[in-house]
Amino acid sequence: MKKILIIYTGGTIGMMHHHKKKTLVPLNFSQITNHIPELKHIKCKIHFHSWKNPIDSSNVDITFWQELAMVIQKNYSKHDGFVILHGTDTMAYSASALSFMLENLSKPVILTGSQVPLGAIRNDARRNIITAMEIAAGNVLIPEVCIYFNNQLFRGNRSEKYSSSKFDAFHSLNYPALVEAGVKIEFHKEAIAKTNAKKKFTVHTSLDNNIAVVKIFPGMPHSLLLQVIKTTGLKAIVLEAFGSGNAPTEEIFTGYLNHAIRNGILVVDISQCSGGSVELGKYETSAHLKKIGVISGGDMTTEATITKLMFLFGQNFSSQKVKSLMTKNLRGEISV
């Protein structure tokens, strides 16, 4: 029998209605099979790890990711898979961060959550937990960090939350679903990452958050970009540009970016469009960016771009090496 570790970190999925307090309170996940008796029918042994103080996912930070990675590392040899119960708001960020932190992964790490608490009469929590557990304990190996939500399993660093009210809250527009769960669970094996058991599983906990995100908008004050560039210790700017990576061509705007690049700050261009992909030089409005040394983020999500930069700078790589690795596929996060 496979052994699966459920890690409860917080979020809507683990809340129950307290009849006396008239509020939602975290349930005791050591008794999860009392709340979801269907789990007893999955052919696996279930173990639990709960955060001492469960958090709202809006409070997720680097320390949280480091602690989560260490829990997986500590339990890696004792378990065949991991299901992480997590709030939806920053789930795509956590999945992306973990994908880089967990190198040579050979076991499934599946994040799931819900839009409605487990204690509600009509909820999506029960179904998401059950199916995530079935996939983690199944015969098809998925050796990567994933998000399971509303009948679909996505590669974690390709996922985005796009709805705060629908049960299908996540999508992956630039990479196909790994699994679709209908009457039967259908595995798309061609999309699932391959693993090399000979390579040693390694956990990286060093991250550098000296990253800024600038979303371009029509009429944006140039002084706003300048203030970001002046941030002490800044190492990279994620530039959310229009369409396929386009941006204003005004000399002052280009000049500020050029100044940042010449002073060692990396500028990575990604698309504001969900499912967009950057092609620097395709239009005149991106050729000037390519000329001054802006890096193309290809079809990476904002979440993947930010956490990839945090991971690479956390390894104390030079700016030149980080620049080179940003355009390379490390964990399936970018199409090359």
What CATH number is given to the structural domain containing 266?
Answer: 3.40.50.40
On whether residue 332 sits in a domain, the answer given is no
- The C-alpha atoms of residue 300 and residue 6 are separated, in whole angstroms, by 29
Record the tokens describing residue 300, joined without a space: 């990476």
The last residue of one of the domains, among 151, 175, 203, is 203
* Domain identity same for 109 and 158: yes
Q: Which residues pair with 6 in a beta bridge?
A: 48, 83
On whether residue 178 sits in a domain, the answer given is yes
Contact 227, 135 (CB under 8 A): no
Nearest Cα to Cα of residue 127 among 8, 29, 24, 38: 38
Nearest Cα to Cα of residue 270 among 206, 193, 174: 174
* Domain identity same for 94 and 124: yes
> What is the pLDDT, as a whole number, of residue 13?
83
Record the tokens describing residue 141, joined without a space: 């190996």
- The C-alpha atoms of residue 301 and residue 289 are separated, in whole angstroms, by 19
Contact 215, 240 (CB under 8 A): yes
- The C-alpha atoms of residue 269 and residue 242 are separated, in whole angstroms, by 10
On whether residue 137 sits in a domain, the answer given is yes
* Domain identity same for 173 and 65: yes
Nearest Cα to Cα of residue 310 among 158, 156, 172, 205: 205
* Domain identity same for 152 and 175: yes
CA 8 from centre of chain: 17
* Domain membership of residue 18 as a residue range: 2-203
Q: Residue 180 to residues 183, 186, 213, 250: CA-CA distances in angstroms?
A: 10, 5, 33, 47
- To the nearest 10°, the Cα dihedral for 138, 139, 142, 148? -20
CATH number (domain holding residue 176)? 3.40.50.1170
What is the reported pTM? 0.95
The last residue of one of the domains, among 203, 232, 256, is 203
Record the tokens describing residue 250, joined without a space: 């005004």
Q: Which residues contact 78 (CB under 8 A, 6 or more apart)?
A: 3, 5
* Domain identity same for 185 and 228: no
**What are the backbone dihedrals phi and psi of residue 110, each rounded to the nearest 5 degrees, phi first?**
-115, 120
Q: Any idea what DSSP says for residue 269?
A: E
On whether residue 335 sits in a domain, the answer given is no
- The C-alpha atoms of residue 148 and residue 110 are separated, in whole angstroms, by 7
On whether residue 334 sits in a domain, the answer given is no
* Domain identity same for 108 and 28: yes
* Domain identity same for 222 and 138: no
In the chain, the number of structural domains is 2
* Domain identity same for 158 and 179: yes
* Domain identity same for 143 and 220: no
- The C-alpha atoms of residue 212 and residue 234 are separated, in whole angstroms, by 7
The last residue of one of the domains, among 178, 203, 228, is 203
> What is the pLDDT, as a whole number, of residue 293?
97
Tens-binned pLDDT, residue by residue, of the chain (336 aa): 999 999 999 888 877 666 666 666 666 666 677 778 899 999 999 999 999 888 889 999 999 999 999 999 999 999 999 999 999 999 999 999 999 999 999 999 999 999 998 878 889 999 999 999 999 999 999 999 999 999 999 999 999 999 999 999 999 999 999 999 999 999 999 999 998 778 999 999 999 999 999 999 999 999 999 999 999 999 999 999 999 999 999 999 999 999 999 999 999 999 999 999 999 999 999 999 999 999 999 999 999 999 999 999 999 999 999 999 999 999 999 998
List, as one string, the DSSP characters of 131-179.
HHHHHHTSSS---SEEEEETTEEEEGGG-EE--SSSS--EE-TTS--SE
> What is the pLDDT, as a whole number, of residue 118?
82
On whether residue 336 sits in a domain, the answer given is no
Q: Any idea what DSSP says for residue 41?
A: G
- The C-alpha atoms of residue 136 and residue 140 are separated, in whole angstroms, by 9
> What is the pLDDT, as a whole number, of residue 119?
76
* Domain identity same for 187 and 224: no
Q: Residue 7 to residues 72, 133, 303, 327: CA-CA distances in angstroms?
A: 9, 12, 22, 33
* Domain identity same for 223 and 101: no
Instruction: List residues with catalytic annotation.
Output: 12
Contact 56, 11 (CB under 8 A): yes
